[in-house]
Amino acid sequence: MKTDSLITPGQLKSEEELVKRAQHTPQAFGELYEIYYKRIFNYALKRTANVQLSLDITSVTFLKAFSQIKKYRWRDVPFAAWLYRIASNEINDHYRREGGRRVASIESIAELADTSDYADEINQAEEEFSRYEEFVLLHKKISELPVIYQEVIALKYFEKKKIREMVKILGKKEGTIKSLLHRGVEKLREKMQ
């Protein structure tokens, strides 16, 4: 199954069939896991900038999805929307438990790089490190925003989701999401100055 952000009606139908099978057989859920694991992990990573925390959140997301799959009702919305919602809730719950502390260490960001890709060239390594420093700064400023702005910014700019996809993931109206994006970007712009 194609895992692009926009799927065709035919792909949606085959996904629906896979979800229905997953409600009865763990092997079918394993297929869903294989399709969506990387996307959910990357979303968590971009929201938290912490590899270990992202692994934990992704694991909990799929564990919750697996334990609740029999209750899941198909609504002609990609299955990923449900997974993103679970992951968002887990991230938000984590930060509530931690008292809102969001700390990104350079070590956790460095884990994002595949060191074998730039081991031969110091210049490339320096460029990578510079990008990660920028990412850390950007993530720090995003993490200072209210959670609802963090969600829409992460989905739009990190996950490359369209507004109509964000409507399904967040369960909010299109106008609300556009407004949140506009306000979130403005607040982020102010913080970056």
DSSP 8-state assignment for residue 6: S
Three-class SS of residue 164? Answer: helix
**CATH class for the region spanning 7-101:** mainly alpha
SS3 call for 188: helix
Tokens of 185: 């970007």
Could you count the other beta carbons within 10 Å of the beta carbon of residue 52? 10
Tell me what pLDDT residue 114 has: 46
CA distance 91 to 68: 19
Both structure tokens of 136: 């850390």
Number of Cβ atoms within 10 Å of the Cβ of 73: 6
pTM, entire model: 0.60
Give the pLDDT confidence of 137-186 residue by residue, as tens digits. 788 888 889 989 999 998 998 888 999 999 989 999 999 999 999 999 99
Fold adopted by 145-193: Arc Repressor Mutant, subunit A (1.10.10)
Tell me how many degrees the CA angle 58-89-100 measures, rounded to the nearest 5.
100
Domain extents in the chain = 7-101, 103-143, 145-193
**Residue at token pair 């719950």:** 93
